[in-house]
Structure formats: C-alpha cells, structure tokens
Amino acid sequence: MKITKQQLKQIIKEELENVLQEEELDEAYKSPMERINDTGPDAMSCEDKKKLVQGLAAARAYSRDEMIKLNNAYKAKCEVEP
C-alpha cells in the first residue's frame, strides 16, 4: 500500500495532535502533591499552588495529615525565607 506525501503529512499531524492531547490529560490527572512539586516549564505559579492548597483545605478533600504534607510542600517550593 502506497501513501501520498499529503496523506503522510495528515497522519503525522493527527498523531502529533493525539500526543499533545495525552500530555494535557496527564497534566489534568496529576495528584495535588505532583502539581505542587512540579518545576517544569508548564508548572503552576506559586499563587495557583496556594489557591490549590486553600481550595483542598476548604473542601476538606484530604485528611489533616495529608493537608499538612501538601502545605509543607507548598511552603518549601514557594515561600521565601525572611
């Protein structure tokens, strides 16, 4: 089976779109701890990390111990020593 150059370009374009969508899904399903510790180019800002921790605390989505760990991770990544 032969494919044309145009068909090959279309296949590559579709596969690239699929990979990019998978990366977006991977990001969406990261745990809060992974999101707080992320330092990559697409990492959340410290303000967004703070909002994440506050939102989880308000929603009581995690146990007290887990919230302490999340808060400590946030502080380690975002708070500057005086």
pLDDT in tens, 9-29: 888 888 888 877 776 666 667
How far apart, in whole angstroms, are the C-alpha atoms of residue 22 and residue 16?
A: 10
Identify the residue whose tokens are 């703070």. Answer: 50
pLDDT in tens, 53-66: 998 888 888 899 99
Output the average pLDDT for the chain: 83
Is residue 82 predicted with pLDDT exceeding 80?
no
pLDDT band at 31 (very low <50, low <70, confident <90, very high): confident
Per-domain residue ranges of the chain: 1-30, 31-82
The DSSP code sequence of 31-62 is -HHHHHH--STTPPPHHHHHHHHHHHHHHT-S
